Amino acid sequence: MSFPAPPAMMGYDRSTSMFSPDGRLFQVEYAMEAAKRGWTMVGVRVSEGVVVVAEKRRTTPLIDIEHLEKVYMVDEHIGAGFVGFGSDGRVLIDYARQLAIQYRFVYGESIPVEYLVKQVCDVMQVYTQHGGVRPFGVTLMIAGVDETGSKLFVAEPSGQYISYKAHGLGQGGSQAIEVLQRDYRDEMSLDDAVVLGIRAIASVMEGKPSPETLEVGLVETRTRRFRKLSKEELKAYLEKLGA
C-alpha cells in the first residue's frame, strides 16, 4: 500500500530551528500566536514614570483571583508582566530577578533596564535555534526607570525586543492599542498614564472592571521604586473613569 507524500511544508512546520523556503520559522510564529491568547495587558510610559495594567479573569466560580499575580516586581526599580503560558513566563521572570541580583552584587548598583531586557531576550532567542527545545510561549512587558529615564520594553518569543511609549498585548491587545494611539500624549502625567492604561483595558474587558479584576504596577521616575496600586487606589481611579 502506498501512502500519499506529506505536504512539502510539514518538515519546516515540525522543526524548531529550520527555516522554510520563504524564510519563516513556523514554531516561533506559533509561539507568538500562543502569547496572543493571553489576557490583555497594557503599558504606558511617560516622563514621570511607567505603568503596567493587567486584566485578571475569574475563569471558574471557585478560583481565587485575589492571589492571581499578573504584574511582578523584578527589582526595586523594574516591574514586568507577560501574556501567554504562565509557566513559561514565571521561569523568565525568575531569571530576570536573578540577573538583577547578580548585577547588584557584582557592580554595587541597580541593573539598567535595557541591559536586563537584552539578557532575557538572549535566552529566549537561544530557544529558537536548537533542536529538542521549543520557543517560550510568552511575550514579556518590562517596565522600569534607570539613570536614563523611564523605559517600556516588549520582548517577543523570537528574542526580539522593542521600546514603546505605550503598547497592548494579549487577546484584546489590538483594541487596546487603538485607545492608546487615540489618547496618548507625550506630556501626560503618570496619573494620566494610569487612567489611560485602565481605560484601554476596560474597553476590551467582557465585564465591568473592578479592583479585583485589575492589577496595576508602576515605577515613578522621581523615586525609581516599583509598587502596585492598592484596591483603594484602584477603586478611586475607576470612580474617576465612571466605571
Q: Which CATH number fits domain 39-241: 3.40.50.150, 3.40.50.1100, 3.40.50.1820, 3.60.20.10?
A: 3.60.20.10
Enumerate the domain spans of the chain. Answer: 39-241
Block means of pLDDT (10 residues each) for the chain, 243 residues, are 49 70 82 92 98 90 86 97 95 98 97 98 93 90 97 97 97 96 96 96 89 95 96 93 73
Q: How many CB atoms lie within 10 A of CB 184?
A: 18
Say what the pLDDT of residue 36 is: 92
For the chain, where are the E strands, in sequence order? 41-46, 49-55, 71-75, 78-84, 138-146, 149-155, 161-163, 166-169, 214-220, 226-228
Q: Is 192 exposed, middle or buried (0-12, 13-18, 19+ CB in 10 A)?
A: middle
Say what the pLDDT of residue 13 is: 67
Contacts of 93-99 with CB under 8 Å at 24 or more apart are 95/120, 95/123, 96/120, 96/142
**Which residues are bridge partners to 161 per DSSP?**
155
